[in-house]
Structure 1
């Protein structure tokens, strides 16, 4: 089988699919090639495979027209992604299967992809409406993290017209190999809280509360029970602005405050595995954090009416702050209140991911080969 894996967005995609690509490549008779759009993607793929002692796979940059390159320079990344896919349909049509981890790849069918089976390897976790979500029905096979995700999509009328299979979360296989690579230590020896705001403008807490949050943490660093702070927003937050936003945020770094705007640690669970406290809004990294149940605080400066909304079910796993004057007191009390939320966190995680936790990469590869053999 000739199989193409396509990485059409930032390198965070590598951590969800690279191990599945390697498992497929290890099966007799398969030729697996990886295509990428972002220039630093190969470095992440190499890092993953070095950690797992796996060989590199054939790797190709997506050929891009002058127009696609211009869109990239102008930071029109959604438009560039669509154009790059359109420009490469003919080459992708030479494969037996094309595997992606982003809904937007579903548009390939409308662009003329007709020979390969189009396979979606889900990343993140279900529970909130995402742009392009309806494109899931363009795929021939969807691989899911767990029963919660399957129920979510079926309740929205998706997964009705094609095959699907629950395999677990391949990123945990990467996490198991990398978790001890880069321990995070601060000079004062205190634990750290992770602030992980999303990039979606209508839902993020960053635009209103990021600066007050950093200021509040600076003020409590010297207290015996004080936390250090890692600020690691969703990487898409820095798509626009030609680097100005990232540089401005970096200036907030100082003793006890670490700001990350693009390192591998944002993507490989370095922070979510080691933080003592999670602070966020709607990022799906909360699922990764809860692999080890710990205190959570969710920020709602936009006063979203979230209660009884299934898209915000994870806001039931910690205190929700809706007024700025409650922000730091809520954070200070989070550890004491964790016992109230731990049982719900454990159930939430178990519902989201199938057991066993490790081995999803091999299960994914086997599910793909079984599907291809039947079609």
Structure 2
């Protein structure tokens, strides 16, 4: 389905109104503040849009990040995207306050992020539009005084959903820019936003990685064995690593029939010490096994493109893996088929689902032969989740933001 078809279903301002909005921005200029406080794994969902805006006339783009490491990582992404000028602001706090909160910095806990938002609110709220890829930044609308329109680009597929239900903070955004029809439906069904505040733009991260020349599938481990990508989630209720991760890894390696990349969601090792991360990495042997607790390759689709078989529970990385449809095996640690969750049943129809550790390797053995049973569901899931990949999502998102700035002018 093309974006032209989707646009017919979505309430939109007329072309004349959009041109008028763009004209006001061109005449007056607009400043866009990106709140990027959630960590580097979210940056690819925003950096392509910031880069697109930076290349437009009479725009000023500022990105607010937590620390100098984030600053360097974002600068590298923007350069790879051919960005125009973008100011990257490190959200420092007074030295005494930084020292007192040093223990919390490693986990990027919400109190620390909230404090930075409050401290930098004046600078951020002087922009024409604020753009976020997470929802803690909705705090900016709760502080007394004027707040410009707040736009949201979710950093995964799932709409207004969060682990324990629908996130009420979605209702605080003036506009959300979603990847596909699946997220539009779920957002509207829960009544958190009116239809004219919801836009389908495509998948920004995928668009950005394509523009940066990163969407190349290449093997990371030698030899002819199929490579399993084990991608456990950090969620304590559903994540298989906390349940039996080391045993699963041990059985796969003992079988001798697969290469194995173990690359969890980056938040699984978010609070781990340097020694713990090193111990995890050191399980790599260079020939049949690669372990990564959260490097850049965990967020730029290197692993999701390299794997031949996906093994995990649920993740937006599943959608990234299925951009090229391939065999999947899912682990249902509760054995309930994803009861009470709006997304798990659809995901788990993309491959065989197991409920016991001893069933993982046999399911992997069957996965390639059974792939044809699940191919149609995989293609439908990605089409519904990611929308039309032939149109630049970052350019569409940038135009939506230009329109917001024009209407607010």
Q: Flag whether TM exceeds 0.5 (same fold).
A: yes
In structure 2, the residue matched to 1:102 is: 134
**Matching of residue 197 in structure 1 with residue 232 in structure 2:** yes
1:189–1:46 CA distance, 2 compared to 1 (3 A): farther
CA deviation after TM superposition for structure 1 residue 244, in Å: 4.7
Question: Is residue 193 of structure 2 the alignment partner of residue 159 of structure 1?
Answer: yes
**CA offsets per residue over residues 109-135 of structure 1, 9 Å max, x none?**
112362321111122001753468211
Q: 1:367 Cα deviation (Å)? A: 1.0
Q: Which residue of 2 aligns with 1:170?
A: 204
Q: Is it true that 1:71 corresponds to 2:101 in the alignment?
A: yes
Alignment of 1:231-250 (within 5 A): 231-250=262-281
Structure 2: runs of 5 or more not aligned: 1-29
Deviation at residue 268 of structure 1 after TM alignment: 0.7
Measure the CA separation in 2 of the matches of 1:61 and 1:365.
23
Spell out the pairing of 1:304-319 with structure 2 (5 A cutoff).
304-306=336-338, 309-312=341-344, 313-319=346-352
Residue 181 (structure 1) shift: 6.8
Give the distance between the partners of 2:267 and 2:61, measured in 1 at CA.
28
Shift of 1:174: 2.3
- Picking from 296, 302, 320, the partner of 1:270 is 302
Q: Using the alignment, how far apart are the partners of 1:161 and 1:341 within structure 2?
A: 33
Q: How does 1:33-52 map to 2 (within 5 A)?
A: 33-52=62-81
Q: Comparing 299-308 with 135-144, which one deviates more in the overlay?
A: 299-308
- 1:178 match: secondary structure: coil
CA contact (8 A) 1:175 1:268 kept: yes
Using a 3 Å threshold, how does the CA distance of structure 1 residues 145 and 68 change in structure 2: closer, same or farther? farther
Structure 1 residue 247 displacement after superposition: 3.1
* Alignment: residue pair count: 371
Q: 1:162 to 1:40 in 2, by over 3 A?
A: farther
Q: Deviations over 1:15-66 (max 9, x none)?
A: 1111100111111111111110143223332332333333452111012244
Q: What is residue 59 of structure 1 aligned with on the other side?
A: 88
Q: How has the CA–CA distance of structure 1 residues 251 and 208 changed in structure 2, closer, same or farther, with 3 Å as cutoff? A: farther
Q: Distance in 1 between matches of 2:350 and 2:333?
A: 18
Which 10-residue stretch deviates more, 311-320 or 129-138? Answer: 129-138
Q: Tell me the TM-score normalized by structure 2.
A: 0.84
1:229 paired residue number: 260
Moved more, 283-292 or 43-52: 43-52
For residues 170 and 234 of structure 1, the distance between their equivalents in structure 2, rounded to whole angstroms, comes to 19
What is the CA deviation profile of residues 99-152 of structure 1, one whole-angstrom value per residue up to 9, with x for unaligned ones? Answer: 110022112211236232111112200175346821111111111111110111
Q: TM-score, normalised by structure 1?
A: 0.92
Give 1:162 deviation, angstroms: 6.7
Q: By how many angstroms is 1:155 displaced?
A: 1.7
The alpha-carbon deviation at position 368 of structure 1 amounts to: 1.0
Task: Output the aligned Cα RMSD.
Answer: 2.2
1:92-171 map, 5 Å = 92-112=124-144, 114-126=146-158, 128-130=161-163, 133-160=167-194, 163-171=197-205
1:212 aligns with 2:247: yes
C-alpha distance in 1, partners of 2:72/2:205?
A: 17
- Range 365-374 or range 339-348, more displaced: 365-374
Deviation sequence 1:237-287 (CA, Å, 0-9, x none): 122243454233224222411111121110011111221111111211111
Against the structure 1 CA distance between its residues 212 and 113, is the aligned structure 2 distance closer, same or farther, given a 3 Å change threshold? farther
Contact 2:54 2:85 in 1 (8 A): no
CA distance in 2, matches of 1:229, 1:70: 42
Residue number among 16, 41, 44 corresponding to 1:15 in the alignment: 44
Separation of aligned partners in 1, 2:213 and 2:233: 24
> Does the C-alpha gap of structure 1 residues 184 and 174 become closer, same or farther in structure 2, counting only changes over 3 Å?
farther
Alignment match of 2:334 (pick from 302, 311, 321): 302
SS at match of 2:162: coil
